[in-house]
Copies of this chain bind each other. A is one copy, B any other.
Amino acid sequence: MTQKAIQDYYPGPYAQCYGCGRLNEHGLQIKSYWDGDESVCTFTPWPYHTAIPGYVYGGLIASLIDCHSTGTAAAAASRAEGRDLETDPPPRFLTASLHVDYLRPTPIEGPLELRSQVKEIKGRKVVVTTSLSVHGVECARGEVVAVQVPNALWEQLVGGA
């Protein structure tokens, strides 16, 4: 795709995450996009992201669901407020809780497609549900409760960088 991903709008200090930061050269650098009311992320596991041979380890699936969900939360909060990402970067969300149900072994060839829906937006909290599938077969489901970083905490954490 040539459109910018949600994560491409993160300001620099927010863009260091191993899962989703475009500035973390060692990381997964996942990309999330709107597709109507759903958000979508496609990721091909690296060859050594193995659980048992031929299948993806659960921690990668958890990581993808986590970062795709916080990105979705950020974009959903922006959308709900009518903000234009080009001129007004999205707020950053952190994960309060993560739940993953592993339905079946996930083939490592991928690609893994994550499709998410915003279940709830309430104040600074956004709940995101995700279905992860490979070639149309659902392999995992996730739910993330994401909370917007309080301004004061953000200042405390990164010194206003």
Binding site for B on A (CB under 8 A): 13-14, 16-19, 21, 24-27, 46, 48-55, 57-60, 62-64, 66-67, 92, 94-102, 105, 149, 157-158, 161
Contact = CB atoms under 8 A, between A and B. Distances in A.
A126 to B, nearest CB: 15
B51 A94 contact: yes
A59 B66 contact: yes
A100 B25 CA distance: 26
A60 B17 CA distance: 11
Contacts of A149: 52
B53 A105 contact: no
Nearest to A28: B59
A105 to B, nearest CB: 7
